Structure 1
């Protein structure tokens, strides 16, 4: 599972899931904002910017 550190990913539900699936899920943490590692970040950034200007 690739986890980019957003606050939603630090909820108790997610922590419980990771505890119960220990050994089944390999967690890879990315920085909160890392467009070079997660290309969709650039898309979301552009979309948000275009919505703000309208």
Structure 2
């Protein structure tokens, strides 16, 4: 996916909308749970708690 220079949308804001899905993936210990954990950590770093 390519983001154009004039695109003002924040990808972290969009991902934050799916926070509950990421948390569920971790709880269910799906194969990509480690990636979901890293994304949640990054959301917190970006200020989306």
- Tell me which interval the TM-score lies in, with the shorter structure as reference length: 0.3 to 0.5
For normalisation by structure 2, the TM-score amounts to 0.36
Q: Select the structure that is richer in helix.
A: 2
Q: Select the structure that is richer in strand.
A: 1
For normalisation by structure 1, the TM-score amounts to 0.33
